[in-house]
Amino acid sequence: MRVKWKKNKNLNPDVILDKINSIKTVSEDKKVSYSAFDYQYAMTALVNMVNFPSHCDGFNHENIVSRAVSEIAKDSTLEKNKVMDTINNIVKTESSTREHKYHMLTSLSLAAPYPFKRISLEGSLIRILDGDYPKKYSGRLDNETDGAYINSHV
């Protein structure tokens, strides 16, 4: 499913994009800058006009829209079709990036009895263990300093 403009007669992306066009400055080395606080207000309004599908829930919507605007602003005038195409290209790239699984090993001082042994939070699993770390981490204990586990890319 593609990202689209929200369908609401009161929301007009062209007005916001014209405002951004009027406050942008492009240097010779293609760096884009914006004057005053108008950019922040305009970007907030623009992000609220974009309808991201559910598979984009974990993405930073503000960052995606900002990147799309900056990418187009370097070379041309901002137009709603160009902005939406660029947003969809960025979302496609972000969606195709593989997720990496990481383990983080740490220690906490908790008084027993523990209220939970496992906690699932936004797709992550937190396990509370009694005693030593699992054996699969025993070779990594050399990386431990002052109780803090340094290498979190396990």
Spatial separation of the C-alpha atoms in residues 105 and 154, rounded to whole Å: 9
Sign of the CA dihedral running 57, 99, 148, 129: positive
Spatial separation of the C-alpha atoms in residues 6 and 13, rounded to whole Å: 10
Query: pLDDT for 98-144, tens place per residue?
Result: 878 887 888 777 777 877 888 888 878 888 877 777 777 776 555 55
Tokens representing residue 27 in the block: 């240097």
Question: CA gyration radius for the chain?
Answer: 23
pLDDT at residue 81 in the model? 95
- What mean pLDDT value characterizes the chain? 84
Query: pLDDT for 11-33, tens place per residue?
Result: 899 999 999 999 998 888 988 88
pLDDT at residue 140 in the model? 54
CB hemisphere CA count around 57 (13 angstroms): 4
User: Which residues are registered as beta bridge partners of 4?
Assistant: 51
> Of 127, 131, 130, which Cα lies nearest the Cα of 105?
127
Query: pLDDT for 50-73, tens place per residue?
Result: 999 988 888 999 999 999 999 999
Query: Which percentage of the chain shows pLDDT scores above 70?
Result: 90
Residue 131 DSSP one-character state? S
Highest mean pLDDT among 75-79, 85-89, 143-147: 85-89
pLDDT at residue 143 in the model? 53
pLDDT (mean) for 87-106? 86
